[in-house]
Amino acid sequence: MKMHRFEEIWLIFGVAVLVISMAITGYQAFAQGMAPPSHKETIDPAQVENTAPFDNPGVYQTGENEYEVVMTLQAFSFEPSEITVPKGAEVTFIMTSKDVIHGVNAPHTNLNTMVVPGQVQRITQTFHDSDEFLLICNEYCGTGHQTMSATITVEE
């Protein structure tokens, strides 16, 4: 197929942009550890309350400035719903759903992921500023979906 010379230049330019974009994405994902949350652990969705660690949701300190939040989601609440961590802490959320699919987002942070029944999801976020963050469900989960929220208080 014969192509116009300008078109060849344009396509080479376009493909170069895509390749560079892939390279940056790949570098961030694999070299800098910024891959999207991709946990592959499964759980019986009907037995969440009887399965460790979800039999005991809460905030746990796991190291110096490292915390784990064990969290269960159900229509239309998070448990725990009030989380307090110190400034600069690296917080790993370990989450699962007791019923339908939920989404978890803390606006103004990169904490944004899906929580699916039958799956355990892990996502880590470091809170650098002392502030009160809102944590919301951002996947439609039923008629009370707009009330499903929690707060993360980051203390000085």
Name, in order, each residue with C-beta under 8 angstroms of 53's C-beta and a sequence gap of 6 or more.
70, 94
H helix intervals, 3-94? 5-26
Contacting other proteins (CB under 8 A), which of 5, 36, 64, 156?
Answer: 36
Q: Cα-flanking dihedrals φ and ψ of residue 154, to 5°?
A: -105, 115
| Tokens (6 digits) for 11 | 């396509």
Binding mask 68-107 for other proteins (x = CB under 8 A): -------xx----------------------xxx-x-xxx
> Under DSSP, is residue 93 helix (H, G, I), strand (E, B) or coil?
strand
Q: Is 60 among the residues that bind other proteins (CB under 8 A)?
A: no
Residues engaged in binding other proteins (CB under 8 A): 1-4, 6-7, 10-11, 14-15, 18, 21-22, 25-26, 28-30, 34-47, 75-76, 99-101, 103, 105-108, 110, 112-121, 132-134, 136-147, 149, 151
